[in-house]
Structure 1
């Protein structure tokens, strides 16, 4: 997932914006877990299609391990990077509903 890559590297994929990294490792296994959990939610409680709302809670849980330091990193990333990407509007709204 692009979000994991950017937060792990401290830089957006286009190389234009430097961002803070959380204390968590944001491993590939965690990214897979976020998607698997989202698919389970979509299948059992949704319409069977993976939507941003299905992955938002798991995504935030994977990023925010330290509620003090990581929450600041996540909110900054959400407001400066995710919010500005027009094709990520649904994900932005889903995450904002949780935080």
Structure 2
């Protein structure tokens, strides 16, 4: 390798992305309650991402972006998050799989 060449490093990873559906509407209706729920949900998500070997790469408002070691880990994490959030708030009607 000559002095002008750079070694290219590659690795496999899977990206986990989550965003609160209807966040602006929820904030408009009940800002304090929405922020309280978001904090609780983020604690659940952060724990599960870590348990599945992931690392949070970025957060912004109502979104989470994490890197997990494999697609299998990312899917298992996403399923665990959905199950945990459903148990945390069983009365939320019409929950869809986009958090």
Q: Which has the larger radius of gyration?
A: 2
Structure with the largest fraction of strand: 2
TM-score for the superposition, normalised by structure 2: 0.38
Q: Which has the higher contact order (CA 8 A, sep 6+)?
A: 2
